[in-house]
Amino acid sequence: MARRRQIYEGKAKVLFEGPEPGTLVQYFKDDTSAFSNKKKGTITGKGVLNNRISEYLMLRIGEMGIPTHFVRRLNMREQLVREVEIIPLEIVVRNVAAGSLAQRFGLTEGTPLPRCIVEHYFKSDTLDDPLVSEEHITAFGWATPQDLDEIMSLTLRINDFLSGLFLGIGLRLVDFRVEFGRLYTNDDMQIVLADEISPDNCRLWDIKTGERMDKDRFRRDLGNVEEAYQEVARRLGILPEGGPRDMKGPATMQ
């Protein structure tokens, strides 16, 4: 099969031109990075697991009426998605103090927040994704006030839904990051959930033991990173039958 045209290569994923106009193929790598790319590594089988986990979560979120870019999973490491115009914001939702929020306000990690807090970061590797306010976003034209209202409403629904879903499998959704894109159809524009939802962009703590089941295991050298991602997939009931050790990748990538 002919190699497809690569559109973009990020830290954990590659985007290829899709088979039909308006589609892209999202390929999940095992590569990982943290602290603005200062720490890099590989988590064996992560791409396979995140492809599955993100497929599962995007489908469930879609079923509750939230539009997403996800179309269907193609193989172990690839999924077909709709091409959207990415809004250059990382939307972070926090239910419990952790990571940069705990640091910024001197809070002990694990302190429940009085209510969930939604933050916006400007997507820019060169600037290290700075925290921005609505003022910056609308003044610089990254999103309109209407876009932001829609993003906030979708984000809060996603948080409620995912918090319950993870609670059901013994995991606390401490915080997570989402991205949205604009999907244009004829004269219409719709804001849809894009990118991925996986332990790469969520903090998930075991309810009973408090154990971290996410990328913090890599960031903080806690060990058993693959096992944690695998356990999340297992609890969701979607562990790939052949196991996640797909080192070859799909035929089109070789």
**Residues belonging to the chain:** 254
Give the C-alpha separation, 106 to 211, whole Å: 22
Instruction: Verify binding: residue 201, ligand UDP, rule CB under 6 A.
Output: yes
Residues 205-234 that bind ligand UDP (CB under 6 A): 215
Tell me, rounded to whole angstroms, the distance of Cα 215 from its chain centroid. Answer: 11
Distances (CA, A) of 93 to 107, 116, 156, 157: 16, 7, 8, 11
Which of 41, 62, 67, 99 is close enough to bind ligand UDP by CB under 6 A?
Answer: 99
Give the C-alpha separation, 223 to 230, whole Å: 13
- Nearer of residues 83 and 175 to ligand UDP, judged by Cβ: 175
- Nearer of residues 17 and 31 to ligand UDP, judged by Cβ: 31
Give least dist CB 99 to ligand UDP, A: 2
Residues 120-139 that bind ligand UDP (CB under 6 A): 129
Give least dist CB 224 to ligand UDP, A: 17
Contact 174, 205 (CB under 8 A): yes
Give least dist CB 146 to ligand UDP, A: 25
Please choose, out of 1-9, 14-22, 93-101, 109-117, the segment that lies near ligand UDP by the rule CB under 6 A: 93-101
Residues 35-54 that bind ligand UDP (CB under 6 A): none
Beta strands (DSSP E) in 31-143 are 31-34, 39-42, 70-73, 78-82, 85-86, 89-96, 112-122, 131-132
Which of 52, 77, 120, 203 is close enough to bind ligand UDP by CB under 6 A?
Answer: 203
Give the C-alpha separation, 121 to 201, whole Å: 14
Give least dist CB 22 to ligand UDP, A: 26
Contact 56, 39 (CB under 8 A): no
Q: Residue 208: which residues within 8 A CB-CB, separation 6 or more?
A: 170
- Nearer of residues 176 and 229 to ligand UDP, judged by Cβ: 176
Residues 139-178 that bind ligand UDP (CB under 6 A): 175-177
- Nearer of residues 143 and 178 to ligand UDP, judged by Cβ: 178
Nearest-CB residue to ligand UDP? 99
Burial of 23 (0-12, 13-18, 19+ CB in 10 A): middle
Please choose, out of 48-56, 99-107, 161-169, 240-248, the segment that lies near ligand UDP by the rule CB under 6 A: 99-107
Which of 25, 53, 92, 171 is close enough to bind ligand UDP by CB under 6 A?
Answer: 92
Give the C-alpha separation, 132 to 89, whole Å: 9
Residues in touch with ligand UDP (CB under 6 A): 90, 92, 98-101, 129, 175-177, 201-203, 215
